[in-house]
Amino acid sequence: MSATLASARIGVLTFPGTLDDRDAARAVRLAGGEAVSLWHADGDLQGVDAVVLPGGFSYGDYLRAGAISRFAPAMDAVVDAANGGMPVLGICNGFQVLTEAHLLSGSMVKNDHLHFVCREQVLTVENAATAWTNLYAPGQQITIPLKNQDGQFVADERTLDELEGSGRVVFRYSGWNPNGSRRDIAGISNERGNVVGLMPHPEHAVEAGFGPADATGPRGGTDGLAFFTSVLASLVHA
């Protein structure tokens, strides 16, 4: 199994204005995978087994967050691969790109209080069966950083009911809703569970000494690492 894990190649897609691609690549490596850098203008995904769309401000968030990135050549390939079952994770701006690309439902608007938020956020894992959450326990509470201004998840009531009814609410904010997101939703998946998007940042909580505070110390938290080990596990079982 370890040989298969080591050979799993996870693409990290960089747009102009992406900030967290290096952290995402590092998270992939810490989880035991090989990180492959992908460039937005290149329509070739280089045979990767999964793709991470990292956080940042692609195209300066001009027009709407994620709106212009959606039409990058690499996104056509990502949409095709996602529809074919390839695991895709969108973090923060990456989540916004996935909603603009219609791979995920709903959209993000400005935080209800209009402020940029940067905090260590507690989430409840609502669905531990997706490609990116299978090593968490249902109902598990995790703490990972949250940092954004356009983080308020919105969708119409019918879409929200559909997401709830089909188990596609993957994460909910716990304790405090930091941005006015409908029904405290922090992250969702597509129907198949291979595409997941969330506003908080698992890739910033993958190595003790550089993560959020936890029981082991001020920066001991590594609750985000299981995103990346989960996808490697799902590739082994695929």
Partner 1 sequence: MGRVVVEVMPKPEILDPQGKAVVGALPRLGFTQFTGVRQGKRFELEVDGDVTPEVLVAAQQAAEMLLSNPIIEDVVRVADAAVESVA
* Chain positions contacting partner 1, by CB under 8 A: 63-64, 67-68, 71, 99-100, 106-107, 109-114, 152, 154-156, 180
Q: How far is the CB of 89 from partner 1 (least distance, A)?
A: 21
**198 and 186 in contact (C-beta within 8 Å)?**
yes
Comparison of 179 and 229: residue with beta carbon closer to partner 1: 179
**167 and 159 in contact (C-beta within 8 Å)?**
no
Q: How far is the CB of 41 from partner 1 (least distance, A)?
A: 18
For residue 123, the cross-strand partners are 142, 173
Copy the structure tokens of residue 178. 């930091």
Comparison of 67 and 82: residue with beta carbon closer to partner 1: 67
- Tokens 């997101």: give the residue: 181
**90 and 196 in contact (C-beta within 8 Å)?**
yes
Comparison of 38 and 108: residue with beta carbon closer to partner 1: 108
Comparison of 67 and 198: residue with beta carbon closer to partner 1: 67
**Under 8 Å CB-to-CB from 128, ≥6 apart: which residues?**
134, 135, 136, 137, 138, 140
Nearest alpha-carbon partner for 94 in 40, 44, 164: 40
Nearest alpha-carbon partner for 111 in 62, 148, 71: 148
Give the catalytic positions in this structure: 92, 201, 203
Q: How far is the CB of 217 from partner 1 (least distance, A)?
A: 37
What is the gyration radius of the CA atoms in the chain, in angstroms? 16
